[in-house]
Structure 1
Amino acid sequence: MKKILFLGAAQAQLPPIHYALDQGYYVITCDYLPDNPGHFFADESHEVSTTDKEAVLELARRLEVDAVVAYASDPAAPTAAYVAEVLGLPGNPYDSVELLARKDKFREFLVEHGFNAPRSCSFYSIDDARAWLATLQLPVFVKPVDSSGNKGITCLENPADLDDAFLYALQFSREQKVVIEERIDQVGFQIDSDVFMFNGELRFWLWADAHFDPLCSPPFPIANSYPTTLDPRIGEKAAAELERILATLGFRSGAFNVEFLVDAQGEIWFLEIGPRNGGDFIPDTILQATGVDLVKATVDSALGLDCSWVKRVEPRGFWSNYVVHSLEAGILESISISETLRERLVCKAITVHDGDEVDCARGSHNTLGVLVIRFKSLEEMHSMLANMHDHITIRVTSQQKVAVNG
């Protein structure tokens, strides 16, 4: 029986865990949080941090695993690559995975190889950051170099706010390093979706329009909608440039979550190429829209199985995920969904309960749940996603009121 070590046992990691169990594989989960749900489905679980490369290596060696999977987790992706490389298991080059997981190294790579990249520089010291900020035109983005899911990001419009933005970014950086970069003026939607490579060839790519909630600060990513409104010629160009990036870095197989912008000249600016599947049910939405199962492909690829069956398919119908989130912090009273939206729901996973403490949305750590939705038309999809607060009502009692009344 094949043994698979999954790095992460959170809600987001459940799809590949369930797939592996359905296939009859022996599932081992590794996560320092003992109450994460994946542990309860696994054949065997271990409370080991997914970012502790040597501890995970020792575990994988002792258990004689056949594959290591880091699904929808940037912090765990380098660990999975490291363990696979040391043990001779299927995987991608550790140095290349680590490069993609670090914003500072990725920006340097883009510049070195002639790809578009925003002006950016990374800092351990806030004094050095302040000096460099004076050379830029605001607004700029302040980000942790090694985090994803919008965590730790500030769109800085006033230099006086740098200290707060820098310290906020540090809260989400294991490296304790912060990158400051210029904002690119985009045309149309930002693009965010998953792709899949097998044997060095980009076998599958499907671009999605990324939607943000402007009521959050910074704007919070709430949805990826299919089909995209991106010009197909630019979509083809982006796929070709992406394949060249991945080939240059020596990638062979696996899923990647890709974010990019397009400027007024039709130039492509890659923001992130995560060496793992996207979170927030992106692979699940793609499966509904196309029938292409990137969860299966990810697990099969980690086992070294043939994934030549993965092929590009255009979406059928109008699909989106949606990240349920709150605009205020406090104690959750209820989440209600309109009848119109309920009629269009294909999947719903709410991860909080009435009475739980919730925060206002700033990053993926503030997600309250995820939906998969099928709309009747492109126009309806864009209209509803732009006005989703009319369809999802989240009632929160402020903690301050609770304290006073209690």
Structure 2
Amino acid sequence: MKQKRLMLLGGLRYLLPVIEEAHKLGVYVITADYLPDNIAHEYSDEYCNVSIVDKEAVLQAALTLQIDGILSHAVDPGVVSAAYVAERMGLPFQCSYEVACILQDKSKFRNFLSENGFNSPRARGYNNLEEALSDIDFFTWPVIVKPVDSAGSKGVSKVESLLHLPEAIKIALDASISKKFIIEDFLKLKGYQSSADVFTIDGKLVYPTYSDQLFDESAVNPYTPAIEIWPATMPQCYQDELTAELQRLFTALGVKSGIYNVESRVCTNGKTYIMEVSPRGGGNRIAELQDMATGQSLIRNEILKALGMQMDEMVSPAYEGVWCNYILHTNEAGILRTIDIDEQFRRKHIRNIGFTKSPGDKVEVFMGANQSLGTLFLQFDTREQLNKALENQDEWLRICLE
């Protein structure tokens, strides 16, 4: 039997569990991007040097390499290319190329939501400052300015007045691949925003789940996720409403089978909002934590789906205790000396450590997921125990810089 060949777009550490699981299934793994020193290439069977945002170049490489499946797991810039290649080669993917283009462009997605009767902030997309300045009366201030095509909260700013709009637009454009940005009304949260990975089979949402996403308000970019907690404290009535709306969205988009990273929230106006839906696994090792916490494997099923193999059954997940994805970070720049974790706390509550920085490495101020020092997976019996630990983190965690 011919060995299956899976192409993974990107080369970041987030791909390591995908490579490991694929190897367990006997799959030949090809990693692809234009940075040969990225860590994932050390663990794959073959490296392909190609820009993952150049869909035609990725297609030619995929045809030459005779792949059987393609993923852009936790790698946002490669999603559109992955969908394009899958469609052109007749390979399984979560959705069509056209739908991927809608989901991966915040302006197009906001338009789709509005046109199909979903709750959505008022929003418009632009590609230059002058166009946006001529349209300021459309919005209710404050507003959020963000690139249409970035992930991990890169380039996102809250703007209180017109005076600061040009600076926010420049930040967004600098973080945008397509050099386009979106302005939308600021929605005030009720409780916490959710960021979690869900799974569909033949268009049916079989694995819905929600988290509490917390931010470091003292960070330079206060919209960069710093903590994610499962299960969510969002009242069940709102979770049920969001699940129904997600299913309605998936039906309207005509999606197939696969993993999606979903950001959603409840606002003080009492409405639920689907903020983002991306046909890929989320960053910050979200699928990895959910797999560990629930006993179901999003990662394994996503590989099986991509290769057209029989998937494992998936059901709505249940969590054993309370799980936390703690993003290690610092709001100072320098050289990392040590990350010290209390040994008793480590044994009792830490289920996994994934450092991305080592002593002697340069450390940057926390502006996005790419400036993190790694992740800790924590488990507690109750949310109250976890909250206490987070409130007193100086007692069990010290990050020392030179």
> Aligning the two structures, in what range does the TM-score lie when normalised by the shorter sequence?
over 0.9
Aligned residue for 2:368? 363
1:200-252, CA deviations, whole angstroms, 9 ceiling, x for partnerless residues? 11110111111111111332311221121111121111111101111211111
| 2:311 maps to which of 304, 307, 310 | 307
The yes-or-no answer on 1:345 pairing with 2:347 is: no
The yes-or-no answer on 1:254 pairing with 2:258 is: yes
| 1:393 maps to which of 392, 398, 402 | 398
TM-score, scaled to structure 2 = 0.95
How far does residue 330 in structure 1 lie from its aligned partner after superposition? 2.4
Cα contact 2:335–2:360 (8 A) shared by 1:
yes
The yes-or-no answer on 1:275 pairing with 2:314 is: no
Distance 1:345 1:308, change over 3 A: closer
Aligned residue for 1:296? 300
Aligned residue for 1:149? 152
CA distance in 2, matches of 1:78, 1:386: 40
Instruction: Give unpaired runs (5+ residues) of structure 1.
Output: 398-406
How far does residue 390 in structure 1 lie from its aligned partner after superposition? 5.0
Decide which moves more: 302-311 or 170-179.
302-311
Cα contact 1:209–1:224 (8 A) shared by 2:
yes
Q: What percentage of aligned pairs have identical amino acids?
A: 37
1:116-145, CA deviations, whole angstroms, 9 ceiling, x for partnerless residues? 111111111112222333543332211111
Aligned residue for 2:77? 75
Matches within 5 A, 1:179-328: 179-219=182-222, 220-307=224-311, 309-328=313-332
Distance 1:67 1:321, change over 3 A: same
1:154-179, CA deviations, whole angstroms, 9 ceiling, x for partnerless residues? 12224322222111111211110111
Cα contact 1:210–1:224 (8 A) shared by 2:
yes
The yes-or-no answer on 1:14 pairing with 2:16 is: yes
Cα contact 2:221–2:366 (8 A) shared by 1:
no
Distance 1:387 1:261, change over 3 A: farther
Aligned residue for 2:53? 51
Please state whether the residue corresponding to 1:4 is helix, strand or coil.
Answer: strand
Aligned residue for 1:97? 100
Please state whether the residue corresponding to 1:240 is helix, strand or coil.
Answer: helix
TM-score, scaled to structure 1 = 0.94
Please state whether the residue corresponding to 1:384 is helix, strand or coil.
Answer: helix
Corresponding residue pairs, total: 397
Cα contact 2:142–2:186 (8 A) shared by 1:
yes
Instruction: Give unpaired runs (5+ residues) of structure 2.
Output: none
Say what the alpha-carbon RMSD is for the aligned residues.
1.6
How far does residue 395 in structure 1 lie from its aligned partner after superposition? 2.4
| Partner AA of 2:195 in structure 1 | D
1:75-105, CA deviations, whole angstroms, 9 ceiling, x for partnerless residues? 1111111001001111120010111111000
CA distance in 2, matches of 1:287, 1:80: 23
